[in-house]
Amino acid sequence: MSIWSRISQAISVIGDSVSTFLAKISQPRSNPEMSIAFTIGVIALGAKMAKADGVVTGEEIVAFKQVFRVPERELSGVARVFNLAKQDVAGYDAYARQLARLFAQRPQVLEDVIDSLFHIAKADGAVHERELTYLESVAEIFGFTPRDFARIKARHLAPAKDDPYVILGIEAFASDDEVRKHYRRLVRDLHPDKHIAAGMPPEMINVATDRLARINAAYETVARERGL
């Protein structure tokens, strides 16, 4: 059974509150349950993200569908979760805290969430100030430092996007040895294989793969400049 079919089944017990549903499965016993909790949580945060600047645009809805390649037959169920989240009296912080607890030992998954939300935010051609504030707040709830957030943001927004040190999250004056060790730690901690082992949806594996490619490209630039 696909994750979307499982989510469709879960929708029948969600009721009118996504936050209440997530609280009930905040400690899943298996990878399928964890994957369901993760995906519904991201759908909910995506809905709040799309509404952060005061309006949900068609481009943002399209971007959401790009992040989650939902089969046509499952769109109505996912749309219900999306709409419930927009209407839910619970704030985005409730969803973020639940995901933070769920993936406390897997920060690379939480980083995937931020990357996905950036993709939605960029969909209409600009990241509104309120959207950026939203993203920064979610990242803080997830436990990311300001430097971590700057590194993630650098993969999506100019002008920092062109700075390989910002993308890597390390100071330009770091020693060669520090750069090598930092890069190896990033690759180890953020490798897509960890997502595969955890049973994450294919979409999140794609996000992780794209992120690793950006990190590799940044390191190659630094290594070339330093002659490493």
How many angstroms separate the CA atoms of 78 and 225, rounded? 47
CA dist., res. 31 & res. 91, Å (int): 26
| Residue 97, amino acid | R
Report percent pLDDT > 90 for the chain: 5
pLDDT tier, 101 (very low <50, low <70, confident <90, very high otherwise) = confident
C-alpha–C-alpha distance, residues 53 and 130, integer Å? 6
pLDDT of residue 206: 77
How many angstroms separate the Cα of 156 from the Cα of each of 134, 162, 167? Answer: 15, 10, 10
Q: What's the mean pLDDT in 3-29?
A: 61
pLDDT at 160 over 80: no
Which residues, in sequence order, are CB contacts of 213 under 8 Å at separation 6+? none
Q: Which of 32 and 134 is assigned the larger pLDDT?
A: 134
pTM above threshold 0.85 = no
pLDDT of residue 33: 56
- pLDDT, residue 168, reads 86
Reported confidence tier of residue 7, pLDDT bands at 50, 70, 90 = low
Higher-confidence position of 61 and 123: 123
pLDDT surpasses 90 at 19 = no
pLDDT, position 136: 93
pLDDT tens figures, 170-227: 888 888 888 899 999 888 887 888 777 766 667 677 777 888 888 898 899 998 888 8
Domain that holds residue 37: 3-226
**Dihedrals phi, psi of 225, to nearest 5 degrees:** -65, -35
DSSP assignment of 159-172: TGGG-HHHHHT--T
**Count of domains for the chain:** 1
Residue 10's pLDDT band (cuts 50, 70, 90): low
User: How much of the chain exceeds pLDDT 70, in percent?
Assistant: 63
pLDDT at 214: 85
Give the whole-angstrom CA distance, residue 195 versus residue 117. 18
Lowest mean pLDDT among 129-138, 147-156, 188-197: 188-197
94 pLDDT band, cuts 50/70/90, is confident
- The pLDDT value recorded for residue 135 is 92
